Every structure is written in C-alpha cells, then in structure tokens.
Structure 1
Amino acid sequence: MEALKMLNSQDIYIISTGIIMGTIARIATLKVDFRQVPSYPTAYFNNIFLGFVAATLGSVAIPAILTGDFVAVTFLTVAVQQFRDVRVAERESLGKLEHTEYTQRGEAYIDGIAKTFESRNYIALITSLVTVFVIEMLRKNNMIIAILCGVAAGAAAMILIYRFTKGKTVGEICDVSPGQIEVRGSELFVDGMYVTNYLGTDRSRELFLKEGIAMVLTPKDHKSNITLENYGQRQAILFEAVCIVGVKRYKFIRRNFETGKIIISFIPIDNDLEKAIKAVKHTPILENSRKIGRIMKSSGGSQDE
C-alpha cells in the first residue's frame, strides 16, 4: 500500500506507457515471426499474456530503482527463470506432438522454436524498460514530449533487437526452383538427379507422375552448401514444405553429393507448388547449422564466402 501511495499520476502514465509498448512488442513479434507460434487462439493468448507480464516487470524496474526499492528489481531474475521454463515447456510440448505431424520437425528445429518463444519475452521486457527509462530522463521538461520520445525509443529498441535476433532464411542462402519429375522403372529422378528406387508399384509411379511435386535447392556458395548438408536443417526444410500443403503419400529429401543440391519430392494434398516453394524459402536457418563467415575464413576453415 505504501508503494501505491508513492505513485502519482505521472508515474502511472509512465508505467502504463511502458506496459503498453512492451505488450505491443510481443504482439508485433507474434505477427512477424508467425512460423514460431502455433496459429491457435489459446497459444496466442498465452504468449500475449506472458508478454504483458514481461512488459510489466520491465516498466516497474526503473521507478523501483529511483525510489530506492532495489528488492523489487530482483523480480527480474524471477522473470528470467519463468521465461526459461517457457522454453522448456514448449520444447517438451512440441516433442510430444512429433508423431502427429506429416513429418517430424527434428530436435534441432524444436530447440530453435523453443528459444524463440523465450527470446520474444525478453524483447517485450527490454522494450518497456527502454521506454520508461527515456520518459523518466525527460519528464522534468515536458511530460507529453517525454512520453512521445519514450514511445519512439521503445519502438526503435524493439526493431533493433528483433533484427539482431532474427536469423536468415533458406531463401537467402540458396535458390529454390521447381523440379521436373521423371520415373524410370521403379526409380524416381528429379531434373535428372536420382532420388529413390521405392516406386515399385504401378500405383506409386502413377501418383508421382500425375500429382507429385518436386523442388530443387541450389546453394549460392560453399558456406551455404555446408549449412544445407546439416541433417537437422534438411529435416526442418522438409517439415515446412509438407506442413504448408500436406502430404498424401511418400516424401523424399535427398542430397546430390556432386553438386550439393537438395531435392525435395512428395505427393501433396494441396497441389500448389508455388506455396510449397514459398514455405521452403521462409524456413529459418537453424543455429546449429549456421556458419559464420569470419570463422569460415579463419585458418583451418574454408576460404570461400
């Protein structure tokens, strides 16, 4: 009650602005990074509420320090632990649902998604923290101008942090093009490259010739080739391809050892090749497969970009 009595109308405006900015930051990242969040109302509500909690903690931190209540700042450590628990819970949840998907995401992709869930809450917290800090620094001059500057600073912080944490996508490191399907006996070829010899029945050959789709991923350089050779990365690519259009039967992803090209071929439910190509291009590059240029250039590494 004593803390409430110490708050005046300006303090309430400042904290409320910080909470609003932090919550908006979480909502914005839900829309921008749509692949990392299931498109269900309950999941959206959970993440928005956690973003609200993170924004609240970030908003009260600066006023608490200015009033000498350093104990209140320790709640930030509690928030960090809570957000880590969110990451663990999301990893376990996605792992248990693997057998229900068209194809598995893979542990590497699940780990990346879980870390994204955690980091988005930090964006909300830091956005609100920066917003309140700027307002507090300028409040003595003009409150309205201070709030406007705080909102601008919070928006800038949100954009900068998001760009810093946002990784590349498959479309940035390779060219994705439609592949020409060819069946020779029981063997499947795409653009003349061998894929599999599992087409031993007339029905399977007929399905691929009539309804099958294929895509060819061509790395733009040697570093990209190494990234695409990572098994977890290829599993994530296949998951996004079949997730967006569904899979009726069969799904293959093969690597051409001579050219480094990746071949994806399957029989979709929704025969929309352009949609599948777009999904592949937007597949994120996983942290464990990403190659850093300056390290690749160092001694013992590749000299290619």
Structure 2
Amino acid sequence: MGGEQVLQSDDLRIIITAIIVGTFARFFTLKEDYRQYPSYPNGYIIHIITGFVAAALGAVAVPALMSKNFVAVTFLTLAIQQFRDVRKMEKESLNDLEQTEYTFRGSAYIDGIAKTFEVRNYFSLITALITSITMTVVPLNMWGEIAAGVGAGIIVLLLLKRFSKGKTIGDIAQVEQAEIEVKDSELFVDGIYVSNLLGTDNAAKLFQEEGMAVVITPNENHFRINLDNFGQRQAALFEATRALGIKRYHFTRKDYQDGRVVIALVPLKRDQDAMIEAVKKCPLIESAKKDHAVMGNSLKGRE
C-alpha cells in the first residue's frame, strides 16, 4: 500500500512539473505575437489555456505508458485534431476582422499566423513530454529530478524556438525612407510610378505635406521572388498601417526593373523610424518562401 502511494506521488510530481514547464513554453512564445493578434487580454487567456491543455497531454503520456494505460495515450491523437481546430479558429477570426482593419492582411499572411498558433501548442506538448521523460529516467532525488526535468524542458523549448524562427523582410532586404513626388495627379516614390489617384489639389497637397513612404531593396536578386509576391507586399503594407494608422491613401507597388518595392501612405502618426521598423519586422510569408540553394540544385538536376 505504501509503495503504491509513493508511486502515485512520484507520478503526480512528474505530471505537475511537466504541465508547469509546458504551459510556460506557451506563455514564453505568446509574447511574440503582439503584432499579429489584436485582442491582448482575451487572446492571451485563450492561448494560455490551450497551451495548458497541450502541456497536460504531454505530461501524462509517460506515466500512462509506465502504468500500461495505453488507452490514455490515444488522447494524443485527439490533441492533434484540437490543435488543428485552433488553427481553423484563428483563420476564421482573422478573416472576420479583415473588413475592420486599415487594410487587409491578406490570405497568405492569415494562413501563416494561423499555422504559427497551431505549432506553438505543439511546443507546449513536446516540452512537457521531454520534461516528463527526463524526470522519469534520471535517477536523482526529488529536487534533482525536478531540476533535470525543468532544465531539459527549457533546452528543448529554446531549440524548438530557434528551429521554427522565421525570417523577416529586414533579413533579406534594405528598408529605407523614400522621396515622395507628385506630378499632376500621379504619385511617384523614388522615381517609381505608384498611382494616378491624386486627382484633386487637396489630395496632392495632402500627400506632399503628410505622406510617408519607404522603399524595400532586396539584398540579392533571388530575394525578389519573396518580395514580388503580392501576399508578402500586402503583409508589409498591413504592418505599416497597423503601426501608424491611416488618415487617407495607402499603396504598395513594385519596380519591375530592379525589384524594389514601395509602400506609401498618409498616416495618422508621422513617425518615419516606426514605419521602417514595422516593415523590417514583417515576417516572410511561408507561401512566398523559396530556398535558393534547393532551387539551384533542382535546376542542375534537370540539366
């Protein structure tokens, strides 16, 4: 009877520690999403709770196997479906908000955001699972087991975070302030034609006096594949408008000759540095990514 009680106590300690570490993993990655998710308090609660559930599933897997309760492990398959539902929920929520934003995020950006939220629940599950495994196999005293489990969980979390870290526009291109010029009803930015919609004197005056623009120049020619993608340009425009607001007008255009991309707008908040920073930190859309080395090898193979 006593031995059974000790075993239950050990299992409980492993499960609780793994759940705490796994939930922390979700909280640790949640703060990166402030640019992508609009409702701070409610959004945080939703995703911390789903992270807690993911951590609980990862935490109980090893004790369930050790007690030969194989039915309990099948809940992991249900977890995968639940996390897919999280992605679906995020996609539907952000699509519903499209009409309320200054400009559209775009389907490509929304898809990337939804996948990110799904993946980070797996972070919680894997971190809790590794914590649980470590505490089970390491023959130490109680505090030694806890320290080993927490340490292993944090290391795995950092590795997962580093592996999943995506690039931003600032990693593949230079983002600089651009010069605005209005000729009659036509808008030019650094010599690139942008629009002919400035048909009134008030519109032209507004853009000349209050307009702001940046030009994105790819560091290498093959990065044009990313920047020329409409979804990528729409995402960059969205981040600029989210950071500064919109008084009137917003455009994105590309130069077909050298691959430069222009973002121009009349913001509510005039802060050129903030605009440049917002565009630089815009994530690269997954659907627009192309690995230059892989593409090169594929083409050589065909030859």
Q: What TM-score results when the alignment is normalised by the length of structure 1?
A: 0.94
The AA in structure 2 aligned to 1:100 is: T
Between the aligned partners of 2:240 and 2:128, the Cα distance in structure 1 is 37
Alignment-derived partner of residue 135 in structure 2: 135
Deviation at 1:204, TM superposition (A): 0.6
Comparing 258-267 and 270-279, the one that deviates more: 270-279
Return the alpha-carbon distance in structure 2 between the equivalents of residues 141 and 127 of structure 1. 20
How do 1:164-183 residues align onto structure 2 when only pairs under 5 Å count?
164-183=163-182
* Correspondence for 1:283: 282
Q: Which runs of 5+ in 2 are unaligned?
A: none
- Distance in 2 (CA, whole Å) between partners of 1:299 and 1:78 is 38
CA distance in 2, matches of 1:95, 1:249: 23
Counterpart contact for 2:34–2:40, Cα < 8 Å: no
CA deviation profile, 1:213-248 (whole Å, cap 9, x unmatched): 000000001221111011111111111111111111
Match of 1:103 in 2: 103
8 Å CA contact retained: 2:254, 2:261: yes
- Aligned partners of 2:34 and 2:175: how far apart in 1? 21
Within a 5 Å distance, the mapping from 1:253-264 to structure 2 comes to 253-264=252-263
Other-structure match for 2:296: 297
> 1:78 is matched by which residue type in structure 2?
L
Task: Look up the match of 2:87.
Answer: 87
RMSD: 1.5
Offset of 1:190 from its aligned partner? 1.2
- The answer to whether the 8 A contact 2:26-2:124 is kept is yes
Where does structure 1 differ by over 6 angstroms across 4 or more consecutive aligned residues?
A: none
CA deviations 1:160-203 (Å, max 9, x no partner) are 11111221111101000001111111111112222112111011
Which residue is equivalent to 2:232? Answer: 233
Q: Percent identity?
A: 52
Tell me which residue corresponds to 1:54.
54
Alignment partner of 2:265: what SS?
strand
Partner of 1:196: 195
Q: Structure 2 CA distance, aligned partners of 1:163 and 1:149?
A: 21
AA of the residue aligned to 1:71: V
CA distance in 1, matches of 2:66, 2:74: 15
Corresponding residue number in structure 1 for 2:222: 223
- 1:71 aligns with 71
Give CA deviations for 1:42-73 in whole Å, capped at 9, x if unaligned: 11101000000100110000110011101100
Cα drift, residue 7 of structure 1: 5.2
Question: Deviation at 1:6?
Answer: 8.1
Instruction: Tell me the residue number matched to 2:45.
Output: 45
Paired with 2:212 and 2:261, the residues of 1 have a C-alpha distance of: 14
Q: Which amino acid aligns with 1:17?
A: T
Partner amino acid, structure 2, of 1:274: D
Q: Distance in 2 between matches of 1:244 and 1:155?
A: 33
CA distance 1:43–1:21, shift in 2 (3 Å): same
Q: 1:77 to 1:251 in 2, by over 3 A?
A: same
- The one-character-per-residue Cα deviations of 1:67-101 (angstroms, maximum 9, x if unpaired) are 11011000111111011011111111111211111
Structure 1 gap ranges (5+)? none
- Quick one: distance in 1 between partners of 2:107 and 2:298? 31
1:128 CA displacement: 0.5
Shift of 1:252: 0.7
